[in-house]
Structure 1
């Protein structure tokens, strides 16, 4: 990472730290973008260049930013889809999550306020759509193919579930722990797959 990128990363960190402190102190709705810029000691135009809206600012540490789809595209073309998706998920979990105290505080602000909560849901749905498209492209199927859609949805649901299981363990769980947990959950699913709704009994 070059000097420019390091400076940009530090500025993003400063903005998020400052905004979070203000949200916790004043409340999310009462804190304006101008308040954040002033407290961070930066210009309003600089703040908007990094974060166009307040809700994008607060969800930034929680967003995937297309990493699921990008990760799948980077896997070998001849690798089975289930193996490729497994590797992508493990790699995501191994990315350092930073200060867990801060992440918990951010999650609380998001959960307690409708605007960022809806924005995070939109981001999650967009990530899922990008993964659907990446799966379809990998298999040479249409973008809205039901197999691709449901595979992407199951993958993101599994990611969310394992994320919940690891959230309170420690700041950055070791790879061995992540792999063991992932294996345990996927083995249970394979042994007793979830059922899906039908209208008539199979004959």
Structure 2
């Protein structure tokens, strides 16, 4: 990494640290971008160059960026679909993001701002749609094929179930990753041992 990239990464971290501190102290909605720039010690134009909108100060570190679909497309063609999807789920969970402490802070900010919750849900839906398309491509079916859509959504359901069952993570990143992956394996094994019942209407 060159000097310019190092300086850019440092500036980005300064901005994120300042923004999170203000959001936690004052609330997301009450904090203005000009206040973030001042707290970070950068000009407003610099702030907007790195983060064009305020919501990106929270959402960018949490961005999913299509890791599940990318991982699925890269799996061997002859690999069973359930195994390939398992790797896709783990690939998303294992992707380095913010540290444990910053994730806690980001979660607190999101929980206090309805607009951020909506934007995060949109991010999740985009990730899910990308996985649906990747499943359809792998099976040679249309993107709106019901089997492909349902299969992809079951994979993303694993993420939701893991999130619902996830307690506090240890501060050590390696230990946190191991705990997260262990819980993911546990959830997937439970669903495989006793698959959910699909609704059926006989009226």
Q: TM-score range by the shorter chain?
A: 0.7 to 0.9
TM-superposed deviation, 1:77? 2.3
Alignment match, 1:74 = 74
Q: Tell me if the contact between 2:73 and 2:134 (Cα under 8 Å) persists in the aligned partners.
A: yes
1:132 aligns with 2:132: yes
List per-residue Cα deviations over 1:64-114 (Å, max 9, x = no partner): 111111121222222222111111222333334543222112111111111
Q: C-alpha separation between the residues in 2 aligned to 1:79 and 1:19?
A: 44
Alignment match, 2:43 = 43
Q: Tell me if the contact between 1:56 and 1:119 (Cα under 8 Å) persists in the aligned partners.
A: no
Alignment match, 2:120 = 120
1:7 aligns with 2:7: yes
Alignment match, 1:55 = 55
Q: C-alpha separation between the residues in 1 aligned to 2:74 and 2:43?
A: 38
Q: C-alpha separation between the residues in 2 aligned to 1:74 and 1:2?
A: 30
Q: Unpaired runs of 5+ in structure 2?
A: none
Q: Unpaired runs of 5+ in structure 1?
A: none
Alignment match, 2:195 = 193
TM-superposed deviation, 1:178? 4.8
TM-score for both structures, normalised by structure 2: 0.87
TM-superposed deviation, 1:118? 0.7
Q: C-alpha separation between the residues in 2 aligned to 1:114 and 1:176?
A: 31
Q: CA RMSD in A?
A: 2.2
TM-score for both structures, normalised by structure 1: 0.87
Q: C-alpha separation between the residues in 2 aligned to 1:175 and 1:103?
A: 13
Q: C-alpha separation between the residues in 2 aligned to 1:150 and 1:9?
A: 39
Q: C-alpha separation between the residues in 1 aligned to 2:115 and 2:178?
A: 37
Q: C-alpha separation between the residues in 2 aligned to 1:27 and 1:176?
A: 32
TM-superposed deviation, 1:184? 2.6
Q: C-alpha separation between the residues in 2 aligned to 1:179 and 1:105?
A: 22
Alignment match, 1:168 = 168
Aligned positions, number: 201
